[in-house]
């Protein structure tokens, strides 16, 4: 089986070669951590957004949509805490001039320590065979305990230093662990200092600090400042939610791992406004609902897990991540945060405008609490690519392999492709083109006659097209075509008039939403 690193390289190459994702400004050698979505990428991304939007807005009478501006009044970011606290701790290696996130360096060193424990476990498993009890071994073996306890102690100390903004201690940890720069190999480090992740720009007609604008680092604040506008104009009663999809910008230091961490990315966020005191109930509700949303797509359960935050953000009283097993390990895909009244309260204070809800039942006014679900559209894209792109030996034949993108049909960029058995048979071509013309009203599809049938099938497998429709000589006699299903590769003969129903049933989002 391919190693995860090779698998990841293959995924990136597949995305480029098949028109899903290109490096931004590639002809100028690219701009790091910025990517462009190609023809199939944009279709898939739109389908992901549609699935999210429908499941949030269309399926909930009490959730409505919003599309707020990327630029917001600079005070927004003061109130939200982003001006003062949206920082990463940075450290530079003086010899290579390479910049790192201090916490990422420390976590990397801890991973190495924990890998030693894993190595002990692996050795023991080999020694004991079937009778091996991993849990017991991890809890009792002295060497394993030494490594895991050491790793945990370092992480605890790092979290405490991050919380207290103790940059000197972060530096001390890096020195004690004798961490070296991967480029220069030296341990010649600068001090650790805080670096704000917001991009700033300048208003055209105002000079100096006054005219300083930020590109939003999250879409959530556009929702908070519109809370009363939306509540009043849609006459919503608590609990209700506002959903938004849009671009966000962060000047990430460690911007690697393809579209996992970008400087410009897209978020799908929903802020659910609730009565104070009910946050635990709604936290549990959204935690479960969001996991179901992922599982409905056929994502294997073993690839998803919850991760509770040890280190809560300044605005949260509870937070959990849904993590996905990317080719480089389990990482955050989505966050569910109980944000209390932090944001509305802060905007109310700084703007001097009341952001309160009048509760018709209790006849009191109060600042609602907020439960947030926030997922990166690009990370979702990468998660899907990671587990849906598969290399398969056709019929078990290792010499006949295909790359197939086993996306849920409702998310597939192209739903069908019509091909004539022979491209130089005018009657076959005409019939095939007519089928395409008929189906394009309902689905995104293609007509293709630029290669042999086998080659065309492979091409469609690579972009995840669930159905290939072949027009052959029998079609001219009895109005039937063969329909080849992507995953099973099975072919069935279907009446042309039945095509729309057959495809429609499989690609409809209804099944997913239910």
Interface contacts to ligand ATP, rule CB under 6 A? 218, 250, 252, 261-262, 265, 267, 332-335, 374-376, 378-379
Q: Are 403 and 390 in contact (CB under 8 A)?
A: yes
Q: Are 120 and 131 in contact (CB under 8 A)?
A: no
CB of 312 to ligand ATP, least distance (A): 11
DSSP assignment letter at 368: P
Q: What's phi and psi for 391, nearest 5 deg?
A: -100, 130
Of residues 141 and 251, the one with the C-beta less far from ligand ATP: 251
Q: Are 382 and 41 in contact (CB under 8 A)?
A: no
Alpha-carbon span 446 to 289, nearest angstrom: 35
CB of 217 to ligand ATP, least distance (A): 8
Of residues 239 and 246, the one with the C-beta less far from ligand ATP: 246
Q: Are 316 and 327 in contact (CB under 8 A)?
A: no
Of residues 374 and 446, the one with the C-beta less far from ligand ATP: 374
Of residues 248 and 411, the one with the C-beta less far from ligand ATP: 248
How many angstroms separate the Cα of 383 from the Cα of each of 263, 295, 359, 479? Answer: 18, 12, 41, 41
Q: Cβ neighbours of residue 113 under 8 Å, at least 6 residues apart?
A: 147, 150, 151, 154
How many angstroms separate the Cα of 449 from the Cα of each of 193, 297, 305, 366, 435? Answer: 59, 32, 44, 64, 14
CB of 406 to ligand ATP, least distance (A): 22
CB of 256 to ligand ATP, least distance (A): 11
DSSP per-residue codes, 314-359: TT-SEEEEEEEEETTEEEEEEEEEEEETHHHHHHHHHH-----EEE
Of residues 150 and 307, the one with the C-beta less far from ligand ATP: 307
Q: Tokens 């908070």 — which residue?
A: 224
Q: Are 514 and 474 in contact (CB under 8 A)?
A: no
Of residues 18 and 80, the one with the C-beta less far from ligand ATP: 80
CB of 376 to ligand ATP, least distance (A): 3
Alpha-helical regions (H) of 94-245:
102-128, 134-140, 142-163, 167-176, 220-225, 227-234
Of residues 249 and 457, the one with the C-beta less far from ligand ATP: 249
Of residues 121 and 155, the one with the C-beta less far from ligand ATP: 155
Alpha-carbon span 404 to 410, nearest angstrom: 16
User: Of all residues in this chain, which one has the CB nearest to ligand ATP in the complex?
Assistant: 376
Whole-number CA gyration radius for the chain: 27
Of residues 123 and 247, the one with the C-beta less far from ligand ATP: 247
CA 398 from centre of chain: 33
CB of 259 to ligand ATP, least distance (A): 7
Helix (H, G, I), strand (E, B) or coil at 423: coil
Of residues 383 and 410, the one with the C-beta less far from ligand ATP: 383
Of residues 346 and 404, the one with the C-beta less far from ligand ATP: 346
CB of 87 to ligand ATP, least distance (A): 12
Q: Burial, 431: exposed, middle or buried (Cβ in 10 Å; 0-12, 13-18, 19+)?
A: buried
CA 282 from centre of chain: 22
Of residues 144 and 262, the one with the C-beta less far from ligand ATP: 262
Q: Are 392 and 404 in contact (CB under 8 A)?
A: yes
Q: Are 245 and 296 in contact (CB under 8 A)?
A: no
CB of 257 to ligand ATP, least distance (A): 9
CB of 391 to ligand ATP, least distance (A): 26
CB of 432 to ligand ATP, least distance (A): 41
Q: Which two tokens stand for residue 317?
A: 């009283």
CB of 144 to ligand ATP, least distance (A): 28
């Amino acid at each position: 089986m391919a190693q995860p690193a090779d698998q990841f390289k293959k995924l990136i190459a597949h995305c480029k070669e098949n028109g899903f994702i290109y490096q931004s400004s590639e002809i100028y050698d690219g701009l790091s951590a910025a990517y462009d979505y190609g023809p199939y990428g944009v279709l898939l991304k739109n389908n992901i957004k549609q699935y999210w939007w429908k499941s949030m807005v269309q399926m909930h009478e009490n959730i409505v949509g919003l599309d707020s501006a990327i630029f917001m009044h600079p005070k927004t970011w003061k109130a939200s805490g982003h001006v003062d606290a949206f920082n990463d701790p940075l450290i530079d290696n003086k010899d290579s001039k390479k910049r790192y996130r201090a916490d990422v360096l420390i976590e990397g060193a801890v991973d190495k320590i924990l890998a030693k424990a894993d190595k002990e476990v692996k050795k023991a498993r080999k020694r004991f065979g079937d009778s091996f009890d991993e849990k017991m071994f991890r809890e009792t073996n002295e060497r394993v305990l030494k490594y895991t306890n050491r790793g945990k102690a370092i992480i605890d100390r790092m979290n405490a230093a991050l919380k207290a903004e103790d940059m000197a201690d972060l530096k001390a940890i890096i020195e004690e662990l004798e961490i070296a720069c991967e480029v220069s190999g030296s341990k010649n480090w600068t001090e650790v200092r805080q670096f704000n992740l917001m991009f700033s720009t300048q208003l055209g007609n105002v000079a100096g600090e006054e005219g300083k604008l930020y590109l939003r680092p999250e879409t959530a604040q556009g929702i908070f400042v519109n809370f009363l506008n939306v509540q009043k104009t849609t006459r919503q009663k608590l609990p209700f939610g506002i959903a938004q999809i849009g671009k966000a910008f962060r000047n990430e230091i460690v911007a690697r791992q393809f579209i996992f961490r970008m400087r410009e990315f897209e978020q799908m966020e929903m802020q659910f406004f609730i009565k104070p005191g009910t946050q635990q109930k709604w936290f549990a509700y959204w935690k479960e609902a969001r996991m179901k949303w992922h599982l409905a797509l056929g994502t294997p359960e073993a690839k998803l897990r919850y991760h509770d935050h040890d280190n809560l953000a300044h605005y949260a009283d509870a937070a959990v991540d849904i993590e996905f097993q990317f080719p480089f390990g389990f990482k955050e895909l989505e966050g569910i945060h109980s944000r209390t009244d932090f944001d509305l309260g802060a905007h109310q204070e700084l703007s001097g405008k009341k952001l309160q809800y009048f509760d018709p039942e209790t006849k009191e006014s109060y600042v609602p609490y907020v439960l947030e679900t926030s997922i990166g559209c690009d990370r979702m894209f990468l998660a899907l690519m990671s587990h849906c792109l598969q290399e398969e030996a056709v019929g078990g034949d290792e010499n006949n392999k295909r790359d197939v993108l086993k996306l849920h049909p409702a998310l597939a960029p192209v739903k069908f492709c019509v091909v004539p058995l022979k491209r130089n048979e005018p009657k076959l071509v005409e019939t095939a083109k007519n089928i395409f013309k008929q189906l394009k009203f309902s689905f995104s599809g293609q007509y293709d006659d630029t290669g042999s049938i086998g080659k065309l099938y492979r091409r469609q497998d690579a972009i995840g097209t669930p159905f290939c429709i072949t027009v052959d000589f029998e079609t001219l006699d009895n109005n039937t075509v063969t329909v080849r299903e992507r995953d099973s590769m099975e072919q069935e003969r279907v009446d042309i008039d039945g095509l729309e129903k057959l495809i429609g049933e499989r690609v409809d989002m209804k099944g997913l939403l239910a």
